[in-house]
Amino acid sequence: MDVRVAAKAGFCFGVRRAIDLAAKTAVEKQGPIYSLGPLIHNPQVVELLTREGIHVIDAIEGVEPGTIIIRSHGVGSRLLETVHKSGFKVVDATCPFVQRAQKLAHDLTADGYQVVVVGDRKHPEVQGIVGWTEGQALVVEDPVEASQLPSFDKVGVVAQTTQPHSNFEAVVKVLKTKMGEVAVSNTICNAVVERQKAALDLARQVEIMVVVGGAESANTQKLTRLCEQTGTPTYHIETSNQLDSQWFEGLRVAGLTAGASTPDWIIEEVERRMREMEETTNQEEMVNQEETVTQEEAAKPEEASPEEAVVEEKEAAAEETTVDEETTNDEQELQQTQVRSLHSGDVIRGVVVQINQDEVLVDVGSKSEGVISLRELSCCDVTSPTDVVQVGTEIDVWVVKAEDNEGRIILSKNRADAVKAWEHLDEAFKSERVVTGKVREVVKGGLLVDLGVRAFMPASQVERGFVEDLGQYVGLELPAKIIELNRGRKKVILSRKALLEEEYAGKRTETLATIQEGDLVKGSVRRLTQFGAFVDIGGVDGLLHISEISWHRINHPSEALKVGDEIDVLILRVDRENEKVSLSLKQILPNPWDNIENRYPVGQIVPAKVVRLVPFGAFVQLEPGVEGLVHISHLANYHVAKPEDVIQEGQGINVKILSVDQEGKRIRLSLREAGPAPEPQANETEGQTVEDTGNVTLGDQFGHLFKDK
């Protein structure tokens, strides 16, 4: 059995930062140390910290003064203020992403918005965010709860950092339909999004998923639910002891992921235990329970190693740390904490610690944070720093000034990116390698793409065909080929079309070589014409003729299809020499004429719709794909000169089944025998006289006298 671990699993930046702060505080040992609530939602880590002298408390009343660590989920503003005033030394381990949500909620409330928090109202993170609004914020967990809120003129929306994007967007959509002004702040943690995406991708590839994390961990619970939604059997455990060998019997590949509060050593232990179980299940005889216990006890001495590693990391951190205690609240995850000597022109690595409206603060390991102005963040114009970076992002920066008049370090991300970008682009251009960049904006004639330097993609080079709305690409990461590069003039021209043409040509050759008449394939509707639709079945545009779209008559393909539809089609004919393929949609749909005699027995009266009139009668539709003829002689119990004198196209009528010919696909119907005869239509209109042909029948003269009889 192959055990695959998700690309993103385990500690996120915020949790690791909280653990590091707690470890440093434990090493310093300046009096009693408390965690105001569990530091993170992982009982094994909390137990390990307790052994190091960090005790969990729920309130500060009656507690001996010492150091209080604020949990990674954060607390309300009033509680935080109370703790500061109580004489405790405070170490704020609140995740920077949570701090951002708290600040946004506070600012929105101050600006007169009714704050709505999307999340679990019982979760401490959500309770803390509500606390920053003085308890005025409303909490909704899903779109249904959002629809039940009263209307407000101004609403500000923030999210619990572990919320799935889909739920957040669904709630926002509901709020926008019933509220006045809606200010949306997406406060979902990028690390959570990455873990959820990695877990979903893995769950679709394996036969079983194991999710490791605390039972109370919100992000671990969401990971479990997301994996379950793929249909893959999913198990949520806290430790390897909860694994059951029966889960893996007969399986070839298993997946493993973990919540953001799960340490690496637990993940590794679970992975090792899964592999041991796989070896056991491959033996000729099942291992009995006593042997399993023996193996588990044999592995127990190894469990002490993660604790020893943590202690060693704490001691190393205590020796290397030279940062003043007052900067604790602004610490970020850095490998180096020594003060650096900076010079203009240096390119160094730093971590984003704060994002303001028009600037970003970056910790570069010096005495103070460096500042990046909005215009120095990207080669392209951006309206908000969050379009480029997030708190906790590691970035390379160029030192513009080691110290300005205010003693600040002036940095540029744009210039650091450009240094690396030009070297990368020059190599990619020479080797015709694909590059990928983010579309920043639509400009005259095309798109502006961020490759570390500004690059231009003409509108004609975006797709294989014409694109009417280029705005749909803004914010997307697009792969492309460089078709022109001039470093001296800072000119980069890109073509996504060239890349798509290559892919399309390869798919076309492969498809034509492998498809056979009678194959059922998936396709995408690319173009509609009067005579049918062209469907892309993998590099080849096959023709779906209008007669092969539906069993019932349609006047234009747009009545049944639209461009972009994904459909299954049957291959009727393949002309490899001329690269032409004929397709059918109706032949994979149920034939409405099957068992027609059972559904429409002779003598039954059924509802129908008039679809077209002909000189000898009217064709009516009994159901889509099934039409019958009402002969003119069966339209009424009096002489009818023209069918339109009795009925009109589109009219609903009742008809009687006279005969059914399934093989010939013919049904004879009668309107006359289905009920009261229709009133005769007037033969004269204002200013017009119907020509008298002289062919008068007894029915014409006296038929109306007998209609009631």
- Domain end residue (candidates: 154, 188, 222): 188
| Lowest mean pLDDT across 420-424, 530-534, 568-572 | 420-424
Comparing 360 with 288, the larger pLDDT belongs to 360
Indicate whether 99 pLDDT > 50. Answer: yes
Same domain, yes or no: 120 and 92: no
Instruction: Give the domain extent around 89.
Output: 13-96
Percent share of the chain, pLDDT over 70: 85
pLDDT in tens, 311-330: 445 444 444 443 344 333 33
The answer to whether residue 670 sits within a structural domain is yes
- Domain end residue (candidates: 367, 393, 417): 417
Same domain, yes or no: 116 and 73: no
Same domain, yes or no: 107 and 176: yes
Q: What was the pLDDT predicted at 115?
A: 94
Q: Is 36 exposed, middle or buried (0-12, 13-18, 19+ CB in 10 A)?
A: buried
The answer to whether residue 299 sits within a structural domain is no
Q: Is 125 exposed, middle or buried (0-12, 13-18, 19+ CB in 10 A)?
A: buried
Mean pLDDT in residue range 190-217: 86
Q: What is the CATH number of the domain that holds 525?
A: 2.40.50.140
Mean pLDDT in residue range 648-675: 89
Type of residue found at 76: G
Q: What was the pLDDT predicted at 519?
A: 86
Q: Which two tokens stand for residue 331?
A: 């610490």
Q: What is the CA radius of gyration of the chain?
A: 36
Q: What was the pLDDT predicted at 367?
A: 52
The answer to whether residue 282 sits within a structural domain is no
| Lowest mean pLDDT across 272-286, 363-377, 449-463 | 272-286
The residue assigned the tokens 């390869």 is 506
pLDDT in tens, 134-149: 999 999 999 999 999 9
Confidence label for 209 from pLDDT (cuts 50, 70 and 90): very high
The answer to whether the predicted template modeling score (pTM) of the entire model surpasses 0.85 is: no
Mean pLDDT in residue range 180-185: 90
pLDDT in tens, 220-269: 888 898 899 999 999 999 988 898 888 988 888 999 999 888 888 888 88
Same domain, yes or no: 101 and 182: yes
8 Å CB contact between 71 and 35: yes
Indicate whether 210 pLDDT > 80. Answer: yes
Q: Whole-angstrom Cα distance, residue 531 to residue 580? A: 16
The answer to whether residue 387 sits within a structural domain is yes
Q: What was the pLDDT predicted at 298?
A: 46
Same domain, yes or no: 67 and 126: no
The residue assigned the tokens 């434990």 is 26
8 Å CB contact between 199 and 267: no
The answer to whether residue 426 sits within a structural domain is no
Confidence label for 106 from pLDDT (cuts 50, 70 and 90): very high
How would DSSP label each residue in 457-521?
A: EEGGGTSSS--S-GGGGTT-EEEEEEEEEETTTTEEEEEHHHHHHHHHHHHHHHHHHH--TT-EE
Q: Which two tokens stand for residue 454?
A: 């500004």
For the chain, how many structural domains are there in total?
Answer: 5
Q: Which two tokens stand for residue 329?
A: 């609240």
Same domain, yes or no: 581 and 618: no
Q: What is the CATH number of the domain that holds 66?
A: 3.40.50.11270
Same domain, yes or no: 610 and 560: no
- Domain end residue (candidates: 143, 173, 188): 188
Whole-angstrom CA distances from 237 to 118, 233, 257 are 26, 13, 11
| Lowest mean pLDDT across 83-87, 227-231, 287-291 | 287-291
Q: Whole-angstrom Cα distance, residue 52 to residue 279? A: 37
Comparing 471 with 408, the larger pLDDT belongs to 471
The answer to whether residue 394 sits within a structural domain is yes
Give the residue numbers marked as catalytic.
125
The answer to whether residue 196 sits within a structural domain is no
The answer to whether residue 637 sits within a structural domain is yes
Is 654 in a helix, a strand, or coil?
Answer: strand
Same domain, yes or no: 611 and 700: yes
Q: What was the pLDDT predicted at 681?
A: 52
pLDDT in tens, 601-656: 988 899 999 988 999 999 998 888 888 999 999 998 888 899 988 899 889 999 99
pLDDT in tens, 265-285: 888 889 888 887 755 555 544
Q: Which of 3-17, 337-351, 633-647 has the highest mean pLDDT?
A: 633-647
Q: What was the pLDDT predicted at 235?
A: 94
Same domain, yes or no: 82 and 27: yes
Comparing 40 with 628, the larger pLDDT belongs to 628
Comparing 335 with 555, the larger pLDDT belongs to 555
Q: What was the pLDDT predicted at 496?
A: 93
Same domain, yes or no: 86 and 105: no
Q: What was the pLDDT predicted at 405?
A: 66
Same domain, yes or no: 91 and 106: no
Same domain, yes or no: 53 and 106: no
